[in-house]
């Protein structure tokens, strides 16, 4: 699912957000992880940091920071938490998500159109 929002304004930062296909539509959706008891979007400042923190198979979505913040605000979602390393047990592999990743453990939220 790697994709970068090509409409980024010159000089506007892009964050790389953990993502996965939405169960209903199959379109890209944010993965929400619990951080300090709150479900949050996790984002990374560059792809090298994302790979270092989440492994090379983690799906992601590149989003202009302004667009991400507006979407999170419009959906009343917290976050993003930036550059947080995931436990290697939560890393995706070439075969897909970790075996323990279920609808109960990770929330998937579609970005607003």
- The residue extents of the domains of the chain are 1-85
pLDDT of residue 5: 44
For residue range 34-82, list pLDDT tens digits in order.
Answer: 888 888 999 999 999 999 999 999 999 999 999 999 999 998 988 899 9
CA 33 vs CA 39, 42, 56, 74, 102: distances in Å: 5, 7, 18, 19, 12
Residue 92's contacts (CB-CB under 8 Å, 6 or more residues apart) are 54, 55, 57, 58, 59, 98
Higher pLDDT, 7 or 86: 86
The continuous run of DSSP H or E covering 47 comes out as helix 47-54
φ/ψ of 7, rounded to 5, equals: -90, 15
| pLDDT beyond 80 at 86 | yes
The continuous run of DSSP H or E covering 62 comes out as strand 60-64
pLDDT of residue 103: 52
For residue range 1-21, list pLDDT tens digits in order.
Answer: 444 444 445 678 999 999 988
């Amino acid at each position: 699912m790697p994709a970068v929002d090509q409409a980024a304004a010159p000089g506007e930062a892009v964050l790389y957000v953990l993502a996965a296909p939405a169960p209903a539509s199959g379109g890209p959706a944010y993965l929400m992880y619990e951080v300090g008891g709150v479900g949050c979007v996790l984002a990374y400042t560059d792809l090298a940091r994302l790979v270092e923190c989440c492994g090379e198979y983690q799906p992601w979505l590149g989003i202009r920071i302004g667009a991400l913040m507006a979407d999170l605000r419009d959906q009343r979602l917290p976050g993003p938490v930036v550059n947080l390393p995931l436990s290697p047990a939560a890393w995706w592999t070439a075969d897909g998500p970790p075996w323990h990743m279920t609808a109960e453990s990770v929330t998937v939220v579609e970005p607003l159109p």
